[in-house]
Each structure stands twice: as C-alpha cells, then as structure tokens.
Chain A
C-alpha cells in the first residue's frame, strides 16, 4: 500500500510540473459540432483557440464519450452546444466529469445555441418513444440552414464578448461581417431555387434532418426513408416511399454521409432520382469556411434539382 501511495505521489508531482502553461492568453473554446467550431473560429479569429468534439463526418447523435474529451472540457473557458437534446447521449457525463464549473449547464461559459433559432417540429401533443427518436423540444438539425447559422453567429459573438470583454468589439464586428456574407449566400441560393420549376421542389430525406434546410430553400419533403426518426427502414415502408416518389414526381433524395446508402441508391435508381449527400459539418481540416459550407449544402441540392 505504501509503495502504491508513493507511486501516486510521483504521478501527482510529475503532473504538476508538466502542467501546460498557456503562453498567450486566448479564450479556449470547445464546440460539440464542427459547424459550431467553425462559427467560433471565424467570429473569434486570433483571440480564441477552438477544439471540436465530433468530427464533421460523425453522427452527432452518437459520439464516443472518450475521456480525452473530458480533458478538453476541463480546460475550456467556453462550451458551445447545439442543444435540443442532440448531444444528450454523450455530452452530460463528460460535463459532469470535467470538474469545470464554467462549462456546466448555466455556467458562464456555456452556450446552447438552440435558444437563438426559430425551432421547427416542436411537438404539439405529448410524445413517447413509440414515435421513434423524437426530440421533445423541436428538431435539432438547424445547422443546415444559413439563416439559423446567422443567428448562432451573433449568439457566439455575445458569448465570446462576455468571456473576453476586451475583444467584444472585434467579435461583434467579425460576426456582423460573417452574418452578412451568410445572408448573401443564402439569398443567392433562394434565387437559384426560384428559377427552377415548382414541380422540382419535392424531395425525400433519409432521416428527418432537413426541415430547416427545406424551409430556407422553399422545398417540400414528401417522405422520409426512415419510417420514424432513428428507426431503420423496413420493406413495407420503403415501398410506400417508392409509391410516393412516383406519385409526387420527387426526384431528389437527401441524406447525411453517416447514414446507410443502399436503400437511398436503390430508390434513386428505380425513380430516376439523384441522391445528394449533405456533409454533416464544416470541414475545417480542408480549409472550408462557413460560407463555403452553406454554399456547398445548398448547391448540392439545387444541382440535383436541376437535373
């Protein structure tokens, strides 16, 4: 026992000596999703460092709660989350184990951006799990919508300003410029859709991930390949989807990269539709910016509609 205690003491001392010292005083931001990380990076500029918990190609409902994420949270000044229970399956235990009061719900560094968007799919009657993975406070996938991202940009500027008052002016200037660029990209996409025939605006989704995207572009979702959110498709439902696609003339299927593709590809082949894979988030590793991303998301769908 005594030897074990000595070992522990040695680790403790080594730990204290090796503690990383922050050379420049930057605000350490952790974002759950890649798009939120991109917002923080573009609004924060040189005054912040940003770490993202889920990679852009990862299903945000299912992220492995790896202990290195606890370490990130323990050292964070701010935590930006999507909210509406998107991260409920993995984030809460990481926050609890982070030992960092700033990033707990309600802490000074905690920001749930869903509070700033106009929510869709908010159930009007009580829900239960026979309806699948319904989110009781509304659909959480608003980061596919340029308008919602614009609102998030302003909320993040406020968060950073509160945590680093000296940079507040810089954050709000950068946020205003970014929101304007997003707005312009958004309007360009809307104009492109308006130029297409009304019949081409009917689409099918794999998961109910895109109500915000469709609201933005003025599209109509006629079916989802999942019978209920989070429940994998079964043959009878898929044949109904096929019939709906034939009846409505929907020629576009939209899904995220982390969902299985065979069913969508088969439906596309049988109906002559195009399958569009929407990237789950901004890929900062490839140097992608938020504006690039919203252009890519809208552009992919519009390109498929024009065929």
Chain B
C-alpha cells in the first residue's frame, strides 16, 4: 500500500516536472514516462527482488556512520553562529513583561545565547536549528527540515518551528527593533511566541504578485508556546481536532524600487485547556510598509509595522473575546544609527482564567536608539512607559542591550 502511494507520488512529481519545464524540450510521451517509471522502480527495488545476488559478492563491512556524517567535518559548509544578548535594566516597579527573553527586573539580565545552525542536507532538504541557552538550561527554539524542490510551488517544513502566524512571531529576537517582545504576542501566543512540533505546507501561488498561502498543524500544548490553546495542560490527542492549526496568507506589493508593502492575514484554531471540547480562535492581520531608497550611501530605511490580533475563547458557559496590537516605526537614519518608537494596546477581561490580574486595558509606549558598530554588534537603549489601567502608577523602564554575533549566520528573510 505504502509502495503504491509512493510510486503514485513519484509519477505525479515526474508529470509535474515535465509540465513545468515543457518549453525546454518536448516532454516524454506517456509510453516513455511509463518505461522510465518502471526502470526507476526496478532500480530502487531490494537487490534480491529483481536479480539474484552474485555469488562472489564481497562481504560488505557496515560503516559505523553514514558517509555524510563522516565527511561533515571535512570542509563542508555548515553555517553556525552564536548570538549573545545581555541587558541592563531599570524599572520603577516590578515590570509585567510577557516575553520569555524580556528583562524582568532592575539589574543585569541574560536574554539568551542563541546557537543557530543552517545547512543543506542534500539536494532536496535544508536543515535549520536554533538552540537557545539560558541560565535555566537549553531550549530547542527551532529544529526543522525544509524542502527545496517540491513541484507546483509547494514547500513543506517538518519539525519544531515557530508558526508563521503574523509578522513578528516567526522571527527571532535579534531581528526585532525593540529589546522586548510586543505584549500581545506574549499574552495571546506565549512567552516564546507560537511554536510547536508539527508539519507545515506552504504554497507560492502562480500569480503576477507574491501570494503565499501557509497552513500548519502543530502541537496545541505548551505554556510557553500555545498558551491560548492547551497551554500547560496537555489533554492529549484523541482526534484530528486536538492539534493547533495555523493558516496564513502573505502578500507582497512593491511600489517602485524604494517602497514596498507586505500584508498578512492569519488565523489559529485549536482546543483550549478549559476542556469539554472548548476551542480558541485567534485572527490577526499585519502590515509592513518599508521605504528604502536604493543606492542610499547611508543605507537609510524606514519601516512601519502594524499588527493586530483578535481572540475568541470558549470557556464553560461563556465565550471570551479580547484583542490587542502594536504599531511601530523604525528608522535607520545613518549607516550605524537607528531609532524607533512603538505603541501597544492590549485589552483585558474580568475573570480571564489565563491572566486573572489583567482586568482592564493596557497601553505601553517605547522608544529606542540603536548604535551598530558593524553588522555583527549592536547597542540599544530603550525607554518604556507601561500603563496597565488596573495599576495605580505607570511602570517606567530603561534598558540597555548589547548584542554580539559571531560565526556564519544565515541571512534573514524580508
């Protein structure tokens, strides 16, 4: 059964390959295609199945390691880098930060030491791993394989990964414009953002502009990474409804060489920890408007990011609805200098089982100034005023972050 399936897939792939490249040479006729497929099938069958093993076959000495592992140390390119983030912070009161790498108290703090590894596995797959070390231990932030050559614009990722929900969630802290994570990401998705073990299928639509459709199926459990779903209370998997599903459409519009806009729509659907088959849905939209004059000697760029989320949770005898978002502006005004401002708002509910203290709206305003000695180091000063309505006083904060990157780090996506 499995063989039949795999050969059906192979036949489909062969047909797709033929269709996609039809303009180069006339594609194979159905007879030729059948003959090729049969030959491939014979070649890949177990040796004994098609031809008798020669009597004089030399005894094979099993190698202790596959060849690829043996040779991995002999000059193969493996992009490997360490990124260190440390911070010194002052807060007027105990901060109520929601991000797993946010500074949490006055004093020095360790935001993380990230080990990032990327490499091609073979002509078909790429490996991406991100391991974060902290004083509390090791954490596998991401470790997945990504296909490189599926037909019809399809791509699969499998493993532990950040889901492609919204704009900031699939990115790592060293690409952010601020020292801390947006409040709404920590409150709705989790302190580490939305991530899990699972499978993702994405499709690049054959349209004149960039349209990517993404769907993934991941674990719905994890306090850090699926808190609006099963969170820390893993109820186990009984059916296909017990996974967390993420759907997203990402579109890109270039306006000339200097301006561009990315627009995303995302949704997450899965069970929540209140039991009785209760479910949570989160909807989000994100806009990223970027101005970057090509050929600017100072490499000036300006970007505006808007991201909003709306969450609906079924709880016994009720349905909880809340929302939040942020708007941020980042401006690199000189080759080595960047500044930015961010405004956030997240609503609150009475009797929220996940955040019982967060009973009302919360505003937060942040501003930052960053100096880049080179592209491998950065110093960022950030000031923050946090206004949770249920607290009497605003919480003032000042943070100074130092980031150092060494080794070969893969380039980042747009």
Contacts and interface: CB of A to CB of B under 8 A. Distances in A.
Interface string B202-233: 01111111111101000000000000000000
Contacts of B120: 104-105
Interface stretch (A60-68, A168-176, A192-200, A297-305): A60-68
B148 A99 contact: yes
Interface string A77-115: 100000000001111110011011100111100000000
A62 B21 CA distance: 32
Interface SS, B side? loop
Interface string A148-178: 0000000000000001110000000000000
B150 A93 contact: no
A46 B205 CA distance: 28
B210 A70 contact: yes
B78 to A, nearest CB: 13
A177 B107 CA distance: 69
Given A58-B295, A59-B299, A68-B252, A20 B411 contact: no
Interface in B114-163: 120, 123-124, 126, 146-150, 153-155
B206 A19 contact: yes
A257 interface: yes
Contacts of A68: 209-210, 252, 254
B376 A129 contact: yes
A144 B408 CA distance: 27
B150 A8 contact: no
A261 B146 CA distance: 43
A236 interface: no
A109 to B, nearest CB: 10
- Measured as residues with beta carbon below 8 angstroms from the partner, the interface class of chain A is 35 or more
A67 B414 contact: yes
A70 B250 CA distance: 13
B149 A25 contact: no
Contacts of A104: 120, 123, 148-149
Nearest to B297: A260
Interface in A239-264: 257-261
A261 B297 contact: yes
Contact of A232 (B24, B148, B211, B336): B336
Given A68-B210, A93-B412, A258 B295 contact: yes
Nearest to A100: B149
A18 B207 contact: yes
A1 B335 contact: no
25 contacts: A1-B245, A4-B247, A4-B267, A5-B247, A16-B206, A18-B207, A27-B24, A58-B295, A66-B252, A67-B210, A67-B250, A67-B262, A71-B209, A89-B375, A96-B146, A97-B413, A99-B150, A99-B155, A101-B123, A107-B123, A129-B374, A230-B374, A231-B374, A257-B295, A260-B335
In the complex, the 3 A-B pairs of residues with the closest C-beta atoms, listed nearest first: A101-B149, A25-B23, A15-B205
Interface of A: 1, 4-5, 8, 11-12, 14-16, 18-20, 22, 25-27, 55, 57-59, 62, 64-68, 70-71, 74, 77, 88-93, 96-97, 99-101, 104-107, 129, 132, 163-165, 230-232, 257-261
